A and B are shown apart, each in its own frame.
Chain A
Amino acid sequence: MRHEDIISAKQLSRADIEGVLDRAAEIAADPAAVADRHANALLGLCFFEPSTRTKMSFAAAIKRLGGDVVDMGTVESSSVKKGESLADTVRVVEGYADALVLRHPMEGSAQMASEFVDVPLINAGDGAGQHPTQTLLDLYTIREAAGLDDVSIGIVGDLKYGRTVHSLAHALTNFDATQHFVSPESLQLPRKVRYDLHEAGATIREHTDLDAIVPEVDVLYMTRIQEERFPDESEYREVAGEYRIDTTTLAAAADDLTVMHPLPRVDEIAPEIDDTDHAAYFEQAHNGVPVRMALLDLLLEAQS
């Protein structure tokens, strides 16, 4: 992999993505083979907003490679609370670690932070911006379930603020994928993402009705619509129910439809789906460890 930092899915070529996914598949098949590969490596965890899962997933990944974490802890208990800039924080933590993982509520924070440090920096979510490692595990899951070419994917929910959606949409432009975007009018894809999809020549369709695309897609990627995005609660209630799937909704779906969700879910997917062959969301979450192991392995390898 050419890149030292993983900031945005936009920077990932098809070859980059396939390189990480192939390595992840090798690791998943034989995790013991890499148990000591990065003994003594330290991964700096800089999480400026709570994200237990992503953080644990990175910690599990580096530990399974023989390394360990240094963790900034919660923002409330750190110097950030005293008004330290992000640029200063990452420059300090850089001295303790071989690579950094950053989660921050502001868009562009990972890009900016990477300009101040020499160790590899991985964006683990920047506001409504990007979440490229989530995308890599999403792609891994899609490849296992349906393949990445000649595939039709429905992406449903909050497309405006959903960083996992933005990253996934960019990455899918590397493949022969048709993307069906389903959202309320007020939560459609932002201009900046449309621009890139257009530039990349992506095949996209936009919808407000979920039922219309269910029979057409191989993968249904559900996301959470957050109540606070809506000016009034009744408006939220109206659309929230529209984008909930249960066995009735999926009656028209293909038998091999794969249902995904970056989690946590609220009520977008009825629990009755969990026991069907459609459900891939827990497996998707588990895939985060081998995929992040593969990514860390490639980045740390390039460093040494």
Chain B
Amino acid sequence: MSDQQLRVSKIEDGTVIDHITGGQALNVLTILEITGRAGVPVSVVMHVPSDHLSTKDIVKIEGRELSEAEVDVLSLIAPSATINIIRDYEVVDKRRVTRPDRVIGVLHCPNPNCISTKDEPVESNFEVLDDAVRCAYCDTIVRDDIAALIDDA
């Protein structure tokens, strides 16, 4: 039995997100609005040595299959992630994340003078650039530490 199998046991139904950039697993949970309060078993493994990445994180969510939109948003902080949909202990679908054109209602704008950060009836709206995101309201570009802009669930 490998080291990795020891850390996380197989799940019956749900989603395994593998090859998450090391240290980003908790941000992945935030993006997916998984707070740990829903009573769904969630396993998180962080900083496992990896062939592709220097270290990687793995998240296993039981009883929940992630939507395409949820998966796409992950690409902003975990561009190498792979998604395995599990049914009856078998991987029935395996895919990579793709970068969406736009993310809505997920990040908050870091510009304190941006109208989207005020008490107005709008969701945050970011255009996804090659290596950054850009606020659709104030045009602010964020290149580093996008994870810090994730709204708390």
Contacts and interface: CB of A to CB of B under 8 A. Distances in A.
Co-complex (A, B) = yes
Interface string A84-127: 01110000000000000000111111011001000000000011
B102 to A, nearest CB: 14
Nearest to B118: A106
A111 B113 contact: no
A184 B113 CA distance: 23
Interface residues on B, range: 10 to 19
A127 B109 CA distance: 15
B39 interface: no
Contacts of A111: 115, 136-137
A196 to B, nearest CB: 8
A129 interface: yes
Interface in A103-161: 104-109, 111-112, 115, 126-129
A87 B122 contact: yes
A107 B141 CA distance: 13
B120 A107 contact: no
A192 B122 contact: no
Given A85-B121, A87-B122, A191 B141 contact: yes
A191 B135 CA distance: 13
A128 B137 CA distance: 12
A105 B118 CA distance: 12
Interface in B106-153: 111, 113-116, 118-122, 134-141
A261 B96 CA distance: 53
Interface of B: 111, 113-116, 118-122, 134-141
23 contacts: A85-B119, A85-B120, A86-B115, A87-B122, A106-B113, A106-B114, A107-B115, A107-B138, A108-B114, A108-B115, A108-B116, A108-B135, A108-B139, A111-B115, A112-B116, A115-B122, A127-B113, A128-B113, A129-B139, A192-B139, A192-B141, A195-B134, A195-B141
